Amino acid sequence: MKKRLIEIIIVLFIFSFHSCTKKEEIKQVDVLVIGGTTGGISAGIQSARLGISTLIVEETPWLGGMITAAGVSATDGNHNLHSGIWNEFRQHLRDYYGGAEALFTGWVSNTQFEPHVGDSIFKRMAAAEKNLQIIYGYYPVSIQKSGNLVIGATFENDKKEKLIVNAKIVIDATDLGDGLKMAGIAYRLGMDAKAETGEAIALEKANDIVQDLTWVAILKDYGEGADKTIPQPEGYDPKDFEGCCDLTVDGSAINCEKMLDYGRLPHDKFMINWPKKGNDIYLNIVESDRNIRNEELKKAKNKTRCFVYYIQQVLGFKRYGPADDEFPSGDGLALVPYHREGRRLKGIVTLNYNHIEKPYEQPDPLYRTGISVGDYPVDHHHKCNPAAPDLYFLPVPSFNIPLGALIPESTDGLIVADKAISVTNLANGSTRLQPCVLLTGQAAGVLAALSVKNKAQPRNVPVRLVQETLLDTGAYIMPLFDVNPQDSCFKAVQRVTATGIIRTEGEAYQWANRTWFYPDSVISIAEFTEGLHAFDKKFPIINNPLSLTTKKFAEILSPFIENLDNAKFQSSSPMQRKELAVLLDGYLKPFEKEITHQGNYKE
């Protein structure tokens, strides 16, 4: 009997040992991306494309974050900025649906699609990369550090099984910047004070208010005579939604059908992400733990169900019911909430509203270090919180995001993607939009891959090397409206405008702001030499208002450039700006001059 008891104990011990070891898996990769979000998936794909072993760990079964799993599949901005992975993803959508016009189904966006289609495209793009692995079903619980260096992360799933990943570079692509807190990295949260940011329109006193969030639903038109009314949700009060259709768009009043057409998707579906008396809700849960967050977010789900019920019962759209062919959630609601704002890194540099509004007038010319582009106005959702100021759509030109906004002030081994980059609260209203975040993620992937390849920390990777690599992928570093990647002068214009030798002109224009290069226009000798002098003080300023010619160009540069043959440049006709950019890029090679993250040239 005693022998039998010992045998049982041994068997139980062995079983227990195997059970424990099965619950913990350890992986080693070059680049770890925490979150297959909008920025996370583009970071992972780009890192892998540069030959680096990359792992994305994503909690949900979907890729794409806010534009797929969160259901916000009506993209805001960048319609005329055909940049990088954003342009690639959009082309896949156009191919799937049958052209660009097939995506212009609602009036909020030029690119609207079914969330599950976006997820399938991202999965197809990811599957094509042999260096990319994706693990689903795990969420981060801690960040591993060695002194000041991030060296990996630990994840868990709902079964409490652990996944430990050791990596040379970690990318925090979480929705709310959770990796920052876990790693003890400094960040901002809420609205900034103008004394700190220097933004004249910022608040006098900082607070912890974040933007309203939304739990999106996708409805489908089931046809004439169908009644898809859901059960009345708990706490439903129709007064909460009265006035949802009381709105003017471009000076014209809209009706309720027009309100729903805001987010009309292909195949007679509707994205329910409506800010005015709709399903936005204020929940400041960023600093809450996972369990409290999930409990609070039930309120967001319920508000959306109440709004759907109101649409069906009061507005009379009973034929519109939760789509049965979208999310695997089974209730027509998105897999995750749409967080517009979370933690914001304190980075090497911080992009503020002033940098966006007037890039050439700032003491730190961050535009020279751009790595992703956007063109959407400053968009803040605060209708659900009476304590929040009423921020309207502040006018801005199109803009770029500086590389230093992805890198912590002092911590090594970590790069930030998605919405948690180093920007002010005001700037976040523009930088958080989907195409811009996709491109920021792509830049994070480039930076991570170059860090591994060069055995250097992200802060030590040259800015120009990152920018040049992005240009090679077809991405923009300057937000130019009138020069695109199909133009033969594209790279030259991007490089030269990123130096400031030739300046651009920004324009706040409706919902899609613009920055003009004017490639076919001319430039004065004075303007040209002022740009040269700002680039390098050895070039003198010549106060001559006449237009620059190729002959004058050679005369100005030949004393400083050995291989410039004046005999080839005898034309007295004014030069076009695009011609000038190509010549400057070829002879001056401005990207060979090193630059700091603050946008200043190294002497």
Q: What is the pTM of this model?
A: 0.94
At 433, which amino acid appears?
L
Least trusted range by pLDDT, from 93-102, 122-131, 557-566: 557-566
Looking at residue 86, its pLDDT comes to: 98
Residue that wins the pLDDT comparison between 15 and 295: 295
DSSP character string of 444-456: HHHHHHHHHHTT-
Least trusted range by pLDDT, from 208-222, 381-395, 468-482: 381-395
The span from the CA of 270 to the CA of 265, in Å, is 6
Residue 1 has pLDDT above 60, yes or no: no
Residue 447 · residue 173 · CB < 8 Å: no
Looking at residue 451, its pLDDT comes to: 98
The span from the CA of 428 to the CA of 341, in Å, is 8
At 431, which amino acid appears?
T
Average pLDDT over residues 6-20: 48
- The full set of domains in the chain, from first to last, is 25-208+341-472 (3.50.50.60), 213-322 (no CATH), 490-592 (no CATH)
User: What b/e sequence results for 126-137 when a residue is b if at least 16 CB atoms lie within 10 Å of its CB, and e otherwise?
Assistant: beebebbbbbeb
The span from the CA of 155 to the CA of 143, in Å, is 9
Average pLDDT over residues 363-374: 98
Q: Name the maximum alpha-carbon separation found in the chain.
A: 109
Binned at pLDDT 50, 70 and 90, residue 69 comes out as very high
Average pLDDT over residues 326-354: 95
Please write the tens of the pLDDT for every residue from 154-185.
Answer: 999 999 999 999 999 999 999 999 999 999 99
* Tally of residues, the chain: 603
**235 burial via Cβ count (<10 Å: 0-12, 13-18, 19+):** exposed
Residue 154 · residue 141 · CB < 8 Å: yes
Residue 393 has pLDDT above 90, yes or no: no
Residue that wins the pLDDT comparison between 121 and 5: 121
**124 burial via Cβ count (<10 Å: 0-12, 13-18, 19+):** exposed
Least trusted range by pLDDT, from 10-24, 266-280, 407-421, 462-476: 10-24
Please write the tens of the pLDDT for every residue from 487-501.
Answer: 999 999 999 999 999
Residue 8 has pLDDT above 90, yes or no: no
φ/ψ bin of 449: left (φ > 0), alpha (ψ from -120 to 50), beta (otherwise)? alpha
Binned at pLDDT 50, 70 and 90, residue 568 comes out as confident
Please write the tens of the pLDDT for every residue from 405-421.
Answer: 999 999 999 999 999 99
Looking at residue 15, its pLDDT comes to: 45
Please write the tens of the pLDDT for every residue from 496-545.
Answer: 999 999 999 999 998 889 999 999 999 999 999 999 999 999 999 999 99
The span from the CA of 139 to the CA of 28, in Å, is 17
Binned at pLDDT 50, 70 and 90, residue 603 comes out as confident
Residues of the chain above pLDDT 70, percent: 95
Looking at residue 17, its pLDDT comes to: 47
Looking at residue 250, its pLDDT comes to: 66
The phi and psi torsions of 156 (rounded to 5 degrees) equal -135, 160
The span from the CA of 511 to the CA of 501, in Å, is 29
DSSP code for 481: S
The phi and psi torsions of 171 (rounded to 5 degrees) equal -110, 120
Reported in sequence order, the residue ranges of 51-192 that DSSP labels E, i.e. its strands, are 54-58, 132-136, 139-146, 149-156, 162-172, 187-188
Question: Sign (positive/negative) of CA torsion 491, 496, 497, 499?
Answer: positive
Looking at residue 157, its pLDDT comes to: 97
The candidate with the shortest Cα–Cα distance to 437, out of 175, 138, 107, is 175
Looking at residue 14, its pLDDT comes to: 46
Average pLDDT over residues 95-119: 97
Residue 391 has pLDDT above 80, yes or no: no
Residues of the chain above pLDDT 90, percent: 89
DSSP character string of 145-177: EETTEEEEEEEE-TT--EEEEEEEEEEE--TT-
The span from the CA of 132 to the CA of 211, in Å, is 34
